[in-house]
Structure 1
Amino acid sequence: MAIILAAPANAGEAVLYGPAPDWVDAATLDLVDVEDAPSTLIYDWQQRLEDGVVTEYEDAAIRIDNPELLMDHGTVSLSWLPDKGDLTVHRVEIIRAGQSIDVIGGGTQFEVIRRERGLEQRLLDGQLTATLAVSGLQVDDILRVTHSVTVDDQALGDEMQASQYLFQEPWQVGFSRAIVSWPEDSEVYWRAEDVAGVEPPVVVDGYKTLTIALPIDELPDMPGDAPSRFNRDPVLRVGTFANWQDLSRAFAPHYQVAAQVADNSDVAAKAREIMAATRDPLERTALAVRLVQDEVSYLLNGLDGGNYMPQSAEETWEKRYGDCKAKSVLLYSLLSQMGIDAIPVLVSTRGGDAIPELLPIPGNFDHMIVRANIDGTDYWLDGTSTATRLSNIGEVPAFFYALPLPVAGADLVPMTQRRKASPDMVMEATSDYSAGIDFPALFSLTMKISGPQGATLRAAADEADEEQLKRFASSFASGPGGALTSVSLSYDDDRALGILTAEGIMASDFSWADGRMRLSSDQTDKFAFNPDRARPEWRNIPVQTGGPQYNRVNASVILPEGMDDFEVTGDAVIDEGFANTAIYGTRAIEGNVIRFSVDVWNDLGEIPASELPAHKRKVRQLNALEAEVLAPEDFAWRWEIDSATLAKRVKPLLDAYDRAVDFSAADDWGPLTQRATFKAQIFDWDGVLADLDTLIANQPSAYLHSWRGGVHEALGDREAAIADAQAAYDLDPSTYFALNLAELLAYGGKRDEALDLLADLPVSDDEEGSYASTFATVAGLAGRTDDAIAALEEQVADKPTNASVLNADCWFRGLFNVQPEAALSSCTKAIERATNSAPMLDSRAMVSYRMGDYDAALSDLDSALELAPGLSASLYLRGIVRLEKGDKAGRTDVERALRMAPELAAKYAMHGVVPKN
């Protein structure tokens, strides 16, 4: 074995030139109708396995049809591993108008460079690349390149392997095939997917020969959620290994030798240090894994047979770098020094469930880890991973099968999954509604991410760049009403936890529905499992489930103190599951705090097709579960709270918005926008105006000008409102901003100017209803009532079932008191057809008020406010109607409505709709 490890490779780093091997069955262009064929005229692959050497021959002929192909093929690149064999160029030929130009014969030769394209990914694969710029190549030429590469792998000794991807339809090629041959008396095995339709080998001149015409038939479609063995690529595999034990025995000696270290070596000393730290073999194992992961950097070193030949444990520790083989050998050595039963194993990181169905060749595997057995339990240890600790050392990676490498050889062993014992992610979230459930909530959030995923946060935590954190905060708190006041990132190396903490303010998750404020835990579509097995050919294909993954969410909701009679619906404990997913949730109530905890496990595995209907039903049942927090029916809205109490309750929220503004990045105006929005919610119009002034000074937009115009109107400054509406329209001359400007001009006494604006306004079919409503209002204020009615009647005739058009007719007649009795039909139809009927009910109430039917008006207004309690216009009109009926409670309605929308008083007064003293 020492001789094997030390022997120099019998290969060269120079490109060889010569004829193709005698055994090659050379393709000719006569096989191809060059004129009608696609640009790829020939792709011919031939491989021979003999005397421990695999020779790979390739012949490619490309017609240069266009400048793009000229650029793509103007430089020829050929790669090989010089420690394993040679590159021999047989032909580089240009065929032009039927004449051959011998590029190599003309004295041009390849230049050799060492491939280092992967160094930034810590990859050094040992390949050399020979390049040749094809001088004189032109469009319409045919470029033909023929070469062969030999592979005599040191790690395999006399054993050999070869594989060939079998291209399938609709790949376009003139002539293509794959040929693999070996001596008739050699023990060589082959296997390909059944769907590839590969015929058994035939004997040609004493060699068993497989010949496959390419492309093969297109493979049948497979569902994307099928196990990978159903979706694997068509590959022909050929090798000299009779079984997995043969393959294991061929590899094992190299790793046994590489793992041996002297008693006085640094590796042995490290093992003794670990043993001195703890007597527990599992803790010792965890410390050894951590040592290899943290103190030996990753470098794929493919030089000098390194693809399969391992670096020794002592060399790896000395150099402090190595690939998966080197790290596994070091870990194996450490564990062996400590008397822990361990062995290196080969695994496949992709498609591992298919391994038992494949021909035993080394090319099936792309990774190496170590299996340790402690007290009868297998532990799968990956030295190239990160953040392995005692808490997660028992996790089983999703590799499905492993091939151990003892000297005596071994068969494949399944890597049996077990449920994760500790979460990959724990989220702790608190929402504080102490100010009120119709206000934004203060929130705090902590996410603890463990294992390799959490380790990705280590570098960011070390950087601790405040501006980056602020920008992260901006994206994190996107959405209305949300802003962060602080965010931090840290990494706990001992526990291998990335920890993200954030505090801030968020929009209320309570919403008004069916007469109650509700915080809903709506499971609809939260869980999904709907695999498609409708096709007859798919009906027996199982479903692959993802994993392993384990997440935990702990959430607390703090309710306002003093507000009693909150109701909580739904089960206090949920213990359910479907399709290798398990959910365990609990709910507890402690005073004014509701605590929720949910654990979700996603286990790697398969679901038989026969069991899919049951799992689908289970998902529907889970998604049908409902849990709600219901507020008391008589809770007080923010506009119902006196000013002093309101100011006290919202102070913590205002302070949070102030902190969010201070915390935000210099060019992040989101928190200031959210603060302005909140000030509008608490009716601080002067405060809103001040924030909008700052926003417009720094990032003017049509939206912000329009918003500020509305604030000016609320404060009674109509000229300023018109100026902002004009600025919005100038920035964005859309119909929406034009209609807003026209209405403000009309209420500001500039009716002719408003009509001129509307006269020249281009209006799409979808905008005609809104246009007619605004035109009617402007025309009505200008005294052109007949024109207003005509415009609305035209729209109603054109769109007789459109709720918005019908409502516009109803609202105008009521507001302007024009033939109100004729409006009732439109009003009722609008209500019947509306998705949200609150505005339509408000319009009909105005008509009933004009007709003196106060009871009908009150009934509609009560209904509108039940649907939308914050509809200030309905609250204002209800107050007026109540006062007309002698109900002094109407004064309270009026005051509350004007608190929300002060502009209502002046606007309604212009139509003679005023509260009775």
Structure 2
Amino acid sequence: MKPIRCAVLYCLACVFCVPAWAKPADYKTGAAAPWVVPVSPLHPPAATPLPPRGGVAYLLQDYQTRVDQRGKVTYLHVAKRALDSSGVEKVASISISYDPTYQSLTLHAVNVIRDGKLTPRLASAKVHVLQRETELDSQIYDGSMTASIMLDDVRIGDIVEYAYSVDGSNPVFQNKVTGKADLEWAVPVEHAFVRLLVPSSRPVWIAPRRSKLKPQLREADDYRDYRWEQHNVPELRVDSGAPEWYDPYASVQWTEFRDWAEVVRWALPLYRPQRDMGEPLRREVERIAREHADPAGRVAEVLKLVQRDIRYLGIEVGPGSHAPTAPSTVFQRRFGDCKDKALLAVTMLDALGIDAAPALVNTAIAREVATWAPTPTAFNHVLVRVRTGGKLYWLDPTRSLQQGDLEHLYQPDYGYALVLEQGAAGLSPMAGRAAPRKTVHALFDASAGLAQPVGYTVTTTFEGRGADSLRDQLVSNKAELVTQYQNFYARSYAGIRADGELKVQDNAPANALTLVESYRIAGFWERSGKRGRLEANIEASDVTGPLKAPDAIGRNAPLRLEYPNNISEVTEVRLPERWNLKSEKAQVHDAAFEFSYEVAPAADGKSVRITANYRALSDHVDPGDMGNYAAHLKKAREMVGYQLYTDAPGDRVAGEAPAASGTGLGVPGWLLGLAALAVVGLRRVLLPAGRGAAPEHREVNRRLALAGSLLGAMFVLIGVSAIPLRYSLPVSAVVLAMLAKYLWEGVPLVPATHPAYRWARRCYNLRSDPVTMALWSLARKLPPLLGWFMLGSYAAQVLSR
């Protein structure tokens, strides 16, 4: 675990990576200490060899640590075999990092084993010691050094073996034992050996994580000797998209801190508010006291000063990794990291009579810190916990562009925090607050006519964390942000063009930032090649993001979700004239999210309002829930899209989604129409209406021929979508009623022996036939082809009896 790191603003030229040719003070060479247990890099191969990874076979991972009164010494011994050219590149380069302020490096061996023959290479190897600041991109300077060893003449099949020791402990921990060793990796390892030597007089707690491997314990020479040894350790691959806090790898921790209360007692002297704060800082505190009488105003003013006037700079060399700088010094030099800024804020608030304390958190593993053994290295950030007005507030002095009064400030929630105050006995839960919302209102103004460009205005309001992040982007590169937005919309609307400057409205007290974008869309209405109609797709673009289907449903690791994430998107479409629109409402509930969708047409039919809401309920999806999650996402995605289309001038209709927007019966309608025509043709053959029919049958035959022709024509028109379904259903009911009455009136003319006698009665009763009604209800739930074909087949059978 890395020591506390905070993003900082650092521009000193001395921080750049400056190579220094090896000097005696940089490192030394020599044999391993007598306490080290020799472990051979060569051992009999496994019956089933482990599959290589990345051109390298990992033969040995040997990690041994010894604790004594001076501190600790860590010995590392590694052996790797190059299996191809890429593997050669990897094993021929060795990097070793250490902190020269309290550690020293001793190189014991660098060997190449070729065809079973060992060749020492340490004397001839090129060893460079570099001040390589690996976190300069995050603008952090920790003073660490890297010994870089480059080997010549390494070939495919060679084994590169090296061993070294790093001696020294960070004095900030006051010689308290704490450490961690891995027992599982993302690559296969043939032989893994971990050893811990601690004095018998010192109580050390061993805490395995995700491992059932028991250590071998020996006691000799006043030392306890713990050993964990494994052979043929398989790789453990973690699915992409896993949460940052998810760590499935087996490991073992050891710590001399009995509980979290002991960690608090260790940290309290480091974070004690400074009473003698110096005259400049005292004057600033007195000014705040004069200008702000209420506690909430004082807290907000102190936070604002520390966030904006103390620039972000971290020099975390040696003890500075965990020990903050004196507040008077930080205020005078006007820079500091998260520790420095937190202690400065606590000192000022304490002087103003506000209950405040530093709070250690881990921004990466968050609530998983509760599963760790107690240790100061479990944390990587410092907040300020304030108690005032009967409420708790978790404040981050490092958020330089944060806005809002105390009630509207974004407060992070990392699950648990270790509050550094007297009497604190354990981790404190960080009570979650209401998730800040992102509210979007999109207006498509098509009222000028179908042939005219459409006005498109998007008004987006960000709250809380979203507002803070957007302020950073606007300050750093507003022009790039504008281009990104337009390119995003261009994926859906190729003819989009900006229609004015991006407008920014910042409601600082409420910590809400609003963007207003204006565009014109040419070619908004597109001619469909399939149906020949004009169509326009309306997308809830912000809500569709979190509804994207996962890459894979079968996972071993949880799937990471953005959390908190609360989006409300309202889309309004204004039309040139009255359209036939229908209301819709639907919801989807999942363990990880909830979604709602509503379509609300205006009473005059000239506009429609589409509302989509998404709220994340968790920061992850467990592997066992992926099936339900993917199904619910799909259901929600199918609701989101909305399509407007026109079949012909004067006939305006709307559908729910591009894939389900048709209003005719389509192919099933053709089948139903053909079935009806087949019945009509059959009737015409069996019951000729003209010459040759029995006199008493001619009137009945005439009525049947006319009725069949009208009914068949109606079904054909429905089938080719000439009559939209919303019209065809009531029209069908009226036509059937009229035909039934027409036929029923002819029943007395039909002799009981006439084949149409029962058919006429069935036709009359078709509208109340229970089987027909049941099939109608079922057809609406089945796939269209199956449902309509089944209903049409039954109707044909009824009319054919």
Quickly name the TM-score band, shorter chain normalised.
Answer: 0.5 to 0.7
User: Does the CA-based 8 Å contact 2:209-2:253 persist in structure 1?
Assistant: no
From the superposition, tell whether residues 637 and 72 of structure 1 become closer, same or farther in structure 2 (CA, over 3 Å): same
User: Does the CA-based 8 Å contact 1:286-1:389 persist in structure 2?
Assistant: no
User: Does the CA-based 8 Å contact 1:261-1:268 persist in structure 2?
Assistant: no
Aligned-partner Cα distance in 1 for 2:134–2:239: 35
Task: Say which of 497, 510, 515 aligns to 1:499.
Answer: 515
Task: Say which of 335, 347, 352 aligns to 1:338.
Answer: 352
Q: Which residue does 2:13 correspond to in 1?
A: none
Q: Which residue does 2:293 correspond to in 1?
A: 279
CA offsets 1:612-652 (integer angstroms, 9 cap, x no match): 999999889978979989999996269xxxxxxxxxxxxxx
User: Does the CA-based 8 Å contact 2:59-2:79 persist in structure 1?
Assistant: yes
From the superposition, tell whether residues 577 and 452 of structure 1 become closer, same or farther in structure 2 (CA, over 3 Å): same
From the superposition, tell whether residues 378 and 510 of structure 1 become closer, same or farther in structure 2 (CA, over 3 Å): farther
Q: Which residue does 2:92 correspond to in 1?
A: 74
**1:528, CA displacement in angstroms?**
6.0
Q: Which residue does 1:21 correspond to in 2?
A: 33
**1:32, CA displacement in angstroms?**
5.3
Aligned-partner Cα distance in 2 for 1:55–1:473: 57
CA offsets 1:279-322 (integer angstroms, 9 cap, x no match): 34334333333333333333342213221122222333333333
From the superposition, tell whether residues 198 and 477 of structure 1 become closer, same or farther in structure 2 (CA, over 3 Å): same
Mapped pair 1:399 → 2:414: yes
Q: Which residue does 1:877 correspond to in 2?
A: none
Mapped pair 1:125 → 2:125: no
Q: Which residue does 2:730 correspond to in 1?
A: none
Q: Which residue does 1:49 correspond to in 2?
A: 67
Aligned-partner SS, 2:171: coil
**1:371, CA displacement in angstroms?**
1.4
Q: Which residue does 2:457 correspond to in 1?
A: 444
Residues 565-584 of structure 1 mapped to structure 2, 5 A cutoff: 566-570=580-584, 578-579=590-591, 581=593
What letter is aligned with 1:15? Y
**1:22, CA displacement in angstroms?**
1.9
Task: Say which of 320, 327, 350 aligns to 1:313.
Answer: 327
Aligned-partner Cα distance in 2 for 1:553–1:178: 55
Aligned-partner Cα distance in 1 for 2:107–2:411: 47
Aligned-partner Cα distance in 2 for 1:230–1:64: 31
Q: Which residue does 1:252 correspond to in 2?
A: 268
From the superposition, tell whether residues 54 and 347 of structure 1 become closer, same or farther in structure 2 (CA, over 3 Å): same
Q: Which residue does 1:304 correspond to in 2?
A: 318
Aligned-partner Cα distance in 2 for 1:139–1:220: 26
Residues 38-437 of structure 1 mapped to structure 2, 5 A cutoff: 39-51=57-69, 53-95=71-113, 100-105=118-123, 110-135=127-152, 141-168=158-185, 171-173=188-190, 175-199=191-215, 201-214=217-230, 231-256=247-272, 259-260=273-274, 262-390=276-404, 393=408, 395-420=410-435, 422-423=436-437, 425-436=438-449
CA offsets 1:397-446 (integer angstroms, 9 cap, x no match): 241111112255431111121223x42x2222211121246865321112
What letter is aligned with 1:210? Y
Aligned-partner Cα distance in 2 for 1:621–1:470: 32
Aligned-partner SS, 1:253: coil
From the superposition, tell whether residues 210 and 506 of structure 1 become closer, same or farther in structure 2 (CA, over 3 Å): farther
More deviation, 589-598/310-319: 589-598
Stretches of structure 2 lacking an aligned partner (at least 5 in a row): 1-23, 51-55, 653-665, 674-708, 726-801
Higher helix share: 1
**1:218, CA displacement in angstroms?**
5.1
**1:122, CA displacement in angstroms?**
0.4
More deviation, 341-350/375-384: 375-384
User: Does the CA-based 8 Å contact 1:371-1:378 persist in structure 2?
Assistant: yes
**1:155, CA displacement in angstroms?**
1.7
User: Does the CA-based 8 Å contact 2:216-2:228 persist in structure 1?
Assistant: no
User: Does the CA-based 8 Å contact 1:45-1:56 persist in structure 2?
Assistant: yes
Aligned-partner SS, 2:349: helix
User: Does the CA-based 8 Å contact 2:668-2:719 persist in structure 1?
Assistant: no
User: What value does the CA root-mean-square deviation take over the aligned residues?
Assistant: 5.1
Task: Say which of 866, 882, 888 aligns to 2:722.
Answer: 866
User: Does the CA-based 8 Å contact 1:457-1:491 persist in structure 2?
Assistant: no
**1:21, CA displacement in angstroms?**
2.0
Aligned-partner Cα distance in 2 for 1:476–1:628: 16
From the superposition, tell whether residues 216 and 614 of structure 1 become closer, same or farther in structure 2 (CA, over 3 Å): same
Aligned-partner Cα distance in 1 for 2:137–2:236: 39
Aligned-partner Cα distance in 2 for 1:464–1:136: 49
What letter is aligned with 1:479? S
Q: Which residue does 1:706 correspond to in 2?
A: none
**1:468, CA displacement in angstroms?**
8.0
User: Does the CA-based 8 Å contact 1:343-1:370 persist in structure 2?
Assistant: yes
Aligned-partner Cα distance in 2 for 1:542–1:466: 37
Q: Which residue does 2:746 correspond to in 1?
A: none
Aligned-partner SS, 1:380: strand
**1:457, CA displacement in angstroms?**
4.4
User: Does the CA-based 8 Å contact 1:567-1:631 persist in structure 2?
Assistant: no
CA offsets 1:866-899 (integer angstroms, 9 cap, x no match): 3899xxxxxxxxxxxxxxxxxxxxxxxxxxxxxx
Mapped pair 1:548 → 2:564: yes
Aligned-partner Cα distance in 1 for 2:540–2:136: 49
Residues 608-687 of structure 1 mapped to structure 2, 5 A cutoff: 636=650
Aligned-partner Cα distance in 2 for 1:298–1:292: 10
Higher strand share: 2
CA offsets 1:73-132 (integer angstroms, 9 cap, x no match): 4343221112232212222334456555444456x6743221224323202122111223
From the superposition, tell whether residues 197 and 427 of structure 1 become closer, same or farther in structure 2 (CA, over 3 Å): same
Aligned-partner SS, 1:254: coil
What letter is aligned with 1:45? Y
Aligned-partner SS, 1:22: coil
Aligned-partner Cα distance in 2 for 1:14–1:466: 48
What letter is aligned with 1:88? T
**1:348, CA displacement in angstroms?**
1.5
Aligned-partner Cα distance in 1 for 2:579–2:156: 83
Aligned-partner Cα distance in 1 for 2:477–2:383: 34
User: Does the CA-based 8 Å contact 1:569-1:626 persist in structure 2?
Assistant: no
**1:163, CA displacement in angstroms?**
0.7
What letter is aligned with 1:208? R
More deviation, 49-58/267-276: 267-276
Task: Say which of 498, 512, 517 aligns to 1:485.
Answer: 498
Residues 498-537 of structure 1 mapped to structure 2, 5 A cutoff: 499=515, 501-505=517-521, 508=524
Equivalences, count: 639
From the superposition, tell whether residues 426 and 295 of structure 1 become closer, same or farther in structure 2 (CA, over 3 Å): farther
**1:47, CA displacement in angstroms?**
1.2
From the superposition, tell whether residues 477 and 637 of structure 1 become closer, same or farther in structure 2 (CA, over 3 Å): farther
Aligned-partner Cα distance in 2 for 1:390–1:860: 65
Query: How much identity, in percent, do the aligned residues show?
Result: 20
More deviation, 402-411/194-203: 194-203
User: Does the CA-based 8 Å contact 2:129-2:148 persist in structure 1?
Assistant: yes
User: Does the CA-based 8 Å contact 1:96-1:142 persist in structure 2?
Assistant: yes
Aligned-partner Cα distance in 2 for 1:102–1:482: 69
CA offsets 1:498-518 (integer angstroms, 9 cap, x no match): 635232226658999999999
User: Does the CA-based 8 Å contact 1:372-1:378 persist in structure 2?
Assistant: yes
Stretches of structure 1 lacking an aligned partner (at least 5 in a row): 1-11, 639-829, 838-853, 870-917
Aligned-partner SS, 1:19: coil
Q: Which residue does 1:783 correspond to in 2?
A: none
From the superposition, tell whether residues 511 and 397 of structure 1 become closer, same or farther in structure 2 (CA, over 3 Å): farther
